[in-house]
A and B are shown apart, each in its own frame.
Chain A
């Protein structure tokens, strides 16, 4: 949107450690994020890459035993310093979140309309009738059929796609500035997934929302995101404008992910270019670049140190020592 506006979300050197057995596991190690109002950032990664942990840190949803390091600024507030009451005001009002399983976001024993109304009453001090009115507006906005009647539904009375819409309505009830989305379409059928993605795109434009969208699906990231950040073993290994990352993937992991997709242009009896091995165990991460053991372009330097951010083009970076060598053997991976 406005390229000169100040970022609304800014995380610097974010780390998250969890107690595990005798030691600590570092799930996120030094993530920098910056998001402008009205911008969508996709955090793309596999399980254990730290994408959801990063997202939850932005809302301080981790248990007390988790240690969050670094700084998080959202809308001018230092999130890590918020008092419990300020945190309650922050959640839902400044930043809200939607999840993969809407069943977990709603209380099963209250009507959905009442849950939305309660949120509005709590944050804005309005009457219940006023809160319900807001609920109705939002249900119309997210295009739930017969919204008036649906407000009186219990969560189990709705289908999966409709529950996901209702959760989006709940998340937007207090007009937040930032929406955090944790794989909100993963459990949906493709036909419903595309509807929800288009709805989010539309709402974002209308409300000027900044969205951080966590997904493991490159196709979904391309549909929704302005920028993509690829995470691997707790670090952002590549980030840039969606177009740059997809057209010119630079980190060997990103390239591997794109090459390993089954897609229409593959011939019969062709094999997929799978990345060998599996993601590292975070309790014993490999030294240096965490992708090193799975990388075709591994050299000794890779195990010596964590690669720094290297600029590929303006706004597009990758953490890899071998970018120069890779650029020469680049084969354009054009989208089919």
Chain B
């Protein structure tokens, strides 16, 4: 946190979240479907609020189709939101105070596919130097920055600077992507499944590297993954998404120890047990994650939920406090909701 406090770029002070997202919505399709038909609407992100404090790591988890990657792309302004505000350090992104170029310098992203996200015709050195060059640094200064960063992510410039992406391994490529993301000295790094494609022994190295970089550069992370062990290890706070909505958000420990939402509980108990004498006997959820095209009414999780009542099928729960700073969108968390199981307890 101390590195963050001394950041000269800081505008709002320590109390202002670095990223503040309000009412974010993104629907895909709809008008003008294939052959002019009215296509169906994919409610990828359907009204979410969250914030990321300076210096923290927010982990985002959920099944495929829950909207976690869409959220990342919306924050990064790769796709335009249908509605909602994104405030970066208190300023609206795209406003006069913070234009897109200035915003992008401060927010960078690392993707899952380390190969597809590199230009195959640029050497490692040129890849990392490209950003600073575009943002006005001299050629010599950009190359010097690149060499520093390559060294910092564990790629000796003398050996790696002149290589092309196809000449290095997946783990090394992901290090290049991280170095490139850092080349503009961003404050927020969005990591979208950045370690998911790596072998386990290499994944651990890259996770350690990310922890070191966060400390040394005073970074803030948005860490998106489907691996619950990894997210627990990396995150200060966790946001669980389900069908374009926030199901639960809060500090890591309470979420893992005492999840407030039945979906989070099911997700956690879907993890392989790692204990040969205590194997999983029953799948916590049946069926596949439902389709965000026609999300269920009421609570979107109710068709798969063991606790569901008729209330859940027509009334949509709001985020309510499950424990301090820990919110869950479930009627069971809200004592006033009238869920029959609350009366029974």
Contact = CB atoms under 8 A, between A and B. Distances in A.
Interface of A: 46-47, 145, 159-162, 189-195, 197-198, 216-220, 222-223, 242-243, 246-247, 256-257, 260-264, 266, 269, 271-276, 278-279, 335-336
Nearest to B154: A276
Given A159-B288, A191-B289, A271-B211, A260 B204 contact: yes
Contact of A278 (B202, B228, B267): B202
B256 interface: yes
A257 B170 CA distance: 18
Contact of A223 (B199, B279, B285): B279
Interface residues on B, range: 35 or more
A194 B283 contact: yes
B146 to A, nearest CB: 22
Given A261-B229, A262-B229, A46 B271 contact: no
A219 B203 CA distance: 16
A191 B267 contact: yes
B270 interface: yes
B277 A194 contact: no
B157 interface: no
A278 B204 CA distance: 11
Interface of B: 63-64, 169-172, 199-205, 207-208, 211, 226-230, 232-234, 256, 266-267, 270-277, 279-289
5 contacts: A260-B203, A274-B201, A274-B207, A278-B201, A279-B201
Nearest to A192: B288
B247 to A, nearest CB: 13
Nearest to A161: B288
Nearest to A145: B287
Contact of A189 (B204, B226, B273, B284): B226
Nearest to A279: B199
A246 B273 CA distance: 12
Contacts of A263: 229, 233, 274
Contacts of A160: 64, 288
Contacts of B171: 278
Given A263-B229, A266-B233, A272-B233, A218 B274 contact: yes
Contacts of B281: 198
B273 A219 contact: yes
Contacts of A266: 233
Contacts of A274: 201, 204-205, 207-208
A108 to B, nearest CB: 18
B226 A190 contact: yes
A61 B272 CA distance: 30
Nearest to B169: A278
Contact of B200 (A159, A162, A197, A260): A260
The 5 A-B residue pairs whose C-beta atoms are closest, nearest first, are: A219-B272, A262-B233, A274-B204, A260-B204, A46-B199
Contact of A162 (B227, B229, B288): B288
A189 B229 contact: no
A53 B217 CA distance: 43
A201 to B, nearest CB: 8
Contact of A256 (B201, B227, B287): B201
Contacts of A278: 169, 171-172, 199, 201-202
A85 B294 CA distance: 49
Given A198-B283, A274-B208, A222 B273 contact: yes
A328 to B, nearest CB: 24
B226 A260 contact: no
A291 to B, nearest CB: 10
Contacts of B288: 159-162, 189, 192
Contacts of B275: 222, 335-336
Contact of A243 (B233, B267, B277): B277
Contacts of B274: 218-219, 222, 246, 263, 335-336
Nearest to B233: A262
B230 A223 contact: no
Given A193-B270, A264-B229, A275 B204 contact: yes
A197 B282 CA distance: 10
Given A262-B229, A266-B233, A272-B208, A223 B287 contact: no
A256 B202 CA distance: 11
A196 to B, nearest CB: 9
Contacts of A161: 287-288
Contacts of B203: 260
Contacts of B170: 47
Given A242-B276, A335-B276, A190 B267 contact: yes
A260 B201 contact: yes
B191 to A, nearest CB: 14
A257 B204 CA distance: 9
A262 B273 contact: no
A19 to B, nearest CB: 20
A186 to B, nearest CB: 10
B94 to A, nearest CB: 34
B273 A257 contact: no
Contacts of B234: 262
